[in-house]
Amino acid sequence: MKKHTHSNGTTLLENHKLRITPIRQQVLGLFMGKPHALSHSDIEQTLVGDFDRVTIYRTLTSFVEKGLVHKIPAENGVVRYALCKDSCSEEQHHHSHVHFNCGTCGQTFCLENISVPTITLPQGYSFTDMNYLTTGTCKNCNKQ
Amino acid sequence: MKKHTHSNGTTLLENHKLRITPIRQQVLGLFMGKPHALSHSDIEQTLVGDFDRVTIYRTLTSFVEKGLVHKIPAENGVVRYALCKDSCSEEQHHHSHVHFNCGTCGQTFCLENISVPTITLPQGYSFTDMNYLTTGTCKNCNKQ
DNA sequence: GGTCTATTTGCAACAATGTTGCAAATAATT
DNA sequence: AATTATTTGCAACATTGTTGCAAATAGACC
């Protein structure tokens, strides 16, 4: 049994000062329905109905700008996006969490419960964000 | 006064079972002459003489395969490459070190002296590699 | 409901990045 | 110098991302 996420998504868009449009609702729905990060082409292939490639790019850009999702670059250069857990806004993103990229299924997950260990930067360096990307085999793929 | 790195580079190529060719010597020379990581387009713009784009891609791929350099994906999806410090080979890469991307000059550095803090993955996940990418302002840019 | 306006979308065109197949050139070996 | 496996250049193509502009539309106001 699947819960209707429509109203949640709409509220989420409103909270982040984004106009409610069909493509935004549908893209946000995809993110809410999947446990892993999505690439532009994932989204392009999954969307129902005819939406322009450019519009998908702009949708993702607006989501990032308003703090709804964050970008995750993979080892091979593929850029994926995942929902920000909470309390991200246009002003402040703080999604310094651990990402895990499975070499078998290729999917990327946010390990929300694991906090990123901090490091001490060398003298002179200042810090704004950090990204901890691990590669290996995920729970599901290890079962088989 | 600049030291000739030609012979060092040649030995390095030989050690990694790579044939000595003009483009490989020159690309390796670029890496040895710069403290920061280089992207494909950095290399394309800097190389002296006419080399094909495709050949540069293949040069970088062979360097990665043989453990001479490693890939570093930046936040925006740009892929850069940097020399492996030492003891990387075709069989084993272990360049789990910290990368720093400066938001001001845009350059990426390997912070060789800082070891990557380890984390405990959730039950069921197995681990092969990790990559710690920090963003901020580098030493040079902070001076100004 | 209808009108207005700023935002969003689709389209076209383009730029950048990365890949593949194949023939010619060349590095290393004999 | 001859041989052979590797590497290079070229052409063609695939994917990914960007920009400008006119048409469509979401939200606000009456």
Q: What is the mean pLDDT of residues A67-79?
A: 88
Q: Model confidence at A2, in pLDDT bands (50, 70, 90)?
A: very low
pLDDT of residue A94: 63
* Residue A5 phi, psi (nearest 5): -105, 0
pLDDT of residue B90: 60
Q: Which residue has the higher pLDDT, A52 or A115?
A: A52
pLDDT at B54 over 50: yes
Closest protein residue to D5 (Cα–C1'): B19
Q: What is the mean pLDDT of residues A9-16?
A: 92
Q: Using CB atoms, pick whichever of A116, A128, A130 lies closest to residue B103.
A: A128
pLDDT at A12 over 70: yes
Residues of A in contact with B116 (CB under 8 A): 119
pLDDT at A33 over 90: yes
pLDDT at A111 over 80: yes
**pLDDT tens, position by position, B78-101:** 999 999 876 666 656 666 778 998
**pLDDT tens, position by position, B17-41:** 999 999 999 999 999 999 899 999 9
| Entry field: residues in chain A | 144
Residue B119 · residue A132 · CB < 8 Å: yes
pLDDT of residue A5: 40
pLDDT of residue B3: 42
Overall fold of domain B6-143: Arc Repressor Mutant, subunit A (1.10.10)
B73–A75 CB contact, under 8 Å: yes
Domain positions in chain B: 6-143
Q: How far apart are CA B132 and CA B100, in angstroms?
A: 8
Q: Model confidence at B5, in pLDDT bands (50, 70, 90)?
A: very low
| Range name among A42-51, B61-70, B93-102, B123-132 with the lowest pLDDT average | B93-102
pLDDT at A1 over 70: no
pLDDT at B13 over 90: yes
Q: Where are the beta strands (DSSP E) in A53-125?
A: 69-73, 79-83, 97-102, 108-115
pLDDT of residue B55: 98
pLDDT of residue B17: 95
pLDDT of residue B2: 43
Which residue in this structure is represented by tokens 């999604």?
A95
Closest protein residue to C10 (Cα–C1'): A52
Q: Using CB atoms, pick whichever of A117, A130, A138 lies closest to residue B119.
A: A117
**Nearest-5° Cα angle at A98, A6 to B104:** 100
Give the A:B interface size as CB pairs under 8 Å: 129
Q: How far apart are CA A59 and CA B8, in angstroms?
A: 50
pLDDT at A42 over 70: yes
Q: Where are the beta strands (DSSP E) in chain A?
A: 38-39, 69-73, 79-83, 97-102, 108-115, 126-137
Strand order across the A69-73 sheet: A38-39, A79-83, A69-73
Give the burial string for B108-118 (b: 16+ CB within 10 Å, else e). bbbbeebebee
pLDDT of residue A74: 84
Give residues lining strand C (CB < 7 Å): A 18-19, 21-24, 50-52, 54-55, 58-59, 62, 77; B 19-22, 39-41, 53-54, 57-58, 61, 78-79
